[in-house]
Amino acid sequence: MTDRRKLTAAALLAGSILLCGSPPARSESGHAAFYHSGRTASGERSGPHELTAAHRTLPFGTKVLVTNVGNGRSVIVRINDRGPFGRGRIIDVSTAAARQLGMIASGTARVTVERQ
């Protein structure tokens, strides 16, 4: 391999590492809360019947499986907002998702979040 080809290959590899970075974690655990409808960081209006969520870093449109560790109930939501901003939380889910997870009464739940 010539020096020019080696340099080009190295530059392409470095560029792909910079663009992609390390892959995000496939799953995480922590606390979730729920929010009411309104304007989201993605520009959408979130309604009370939509299965959506807010996450700090996952790209908008990403679908995740959220499971309530306490009761085993799960729901798939689409990330369309940023947050949560409450200390110790990893995700905020819509009212509809909270209802399916069985966390309306408590307001929060310990959950796992897995990318789909």
Compute and round to an integer the Cα radius of gyration of the chain.
18
Residue 55 lies in a domain: yes
Mind listing the pLDDT tens digit for each residue in 105-114?
A: 999 999 999 9
Q: How far is CA 25 from the centre of its chain?
A: 10
- As for how many domains the chain has, the answer is 1
DSSP helix/strand/coil, 96: helix
Domain CATH number, residue 59: 2.40.40.10
Mean pLDDT for 26-36 is 93
Query: Which position has the higher pLDDT, 1 or 94?
Result: 94
Q: Does 1 fall in a domain?
A: no
Provide the β-strand partners of residue 111. Answer: 30, 68
The tens digit of pLDDT for each residue in 45-73 reads 888 899 999 999 999 999 999 999 999 99
Verify cis geometry, omega within 30 degrees of 0, for the bond prior to 48.
Answer: no
Q: Is 5 domain-assigned?
A: no
* Region for residue 38 given its phi and psi (left: phi exceeds 0; alpha: psi -120 to 50; beta: otherwise): left
Domain that holds residue 87: 24-115
